[in-house]
Amino acid sequence: MRRLANDIHKLFNMAIVAILLLIISIINSYPKAIYVSIDTNQAVFSKGTKKQKVIALSFDDGPHPKYTIEILDILKEYDIKATFFVLGMHAEKYPEIIKRQVEEGHEIGNHSYSHINMRKATKKQIREEFEKTQEIIYSIAKIRPKVFRPPYGNYNRDVIEIISSDDIPIVLWTFYQDSKDWSNPGVDSIVNTTLSKVQNGDIILFHDYVYKNESHTVEALKIIIPELLNKGYKFVTISELLNISRDI
């Protein structure tokens, strides 16, 4: 009986250790900066001020020839502005969409040229991906992005050093505002993730480019936007959110 009790005790301890290791692994799987509080003097941020009822919608990986246009139509219907973190390679293919985004008052952010993992890239690759996209956007719309979001949210000291040298902040997203919409998890899932924990100053992550035959994001926005407006939220661009947070 004593031996059986010892074996059970050992198994219990092993289970506890396994659970703790799993929790640590999950925590470490998130980009570290998504837990950084807003500080406009820092190079990386993921949330704005909690003192005003403002939120920022952001869209990654576009432009897409169909879904980005549908999203722009929805934003125009409700007269709200968002920030689009575009890939240089997609901007080259669809310059007219970039022009429309700028003309309608949205902010264009740099999301690299080809969506590389910058944590594994050389300094030369990081600089080339960043600068090439800056120049592509300028050639199309005569503006240079003032915010940058690294693909996958992955960055390191090299990324901070290179991007910050141009006085451009690295912008991630509020950690609970990632619905994984790129995977088309279902409209209800996207809506629930976005609305269930929304707070002042949130930066909400969406994707306007998905490699699917349909975009659940588009349909989810038709529910999310009017609901947030009914709750009294004001939609701002990332740069506007930074400025509001700096002035308070």
Residues carrying an active site annotation:
60, 207
Structure tokens at 81: 């502005």
Structure tokens at 107: 């902010």
Residues 87, 111, 100, 77, CA torsion sign = positive
* DSSP H or E stretch at residue 12: helix 2-28
* Count of positions (residues) in the chain: 248
Q: How far apart are the C-alpha atoms of 122 and 128, rounded to whole Å?
A: 10
3-class SS at 86?
A: strand
Residues 110/140, Cβ–Cβ less than 8 Å: no
The CA distances from residue 117 to 99, 121, 212, in Å, are 27, 7, 22
The DSSP result for 181-233, as a single string, is GGG---HHHHHHHHHHT--TTBEEEEES--SSSS-HHHHHHHHHHHHHHHTT-
Rounded to a whole number of angstroms, the distance between the first and last alpha carbons of the chain is 67
Residues 68/209, Cβ–Cβ less than 8 Å: yes
Closest CA to 38 of 193, 247, 178: 247
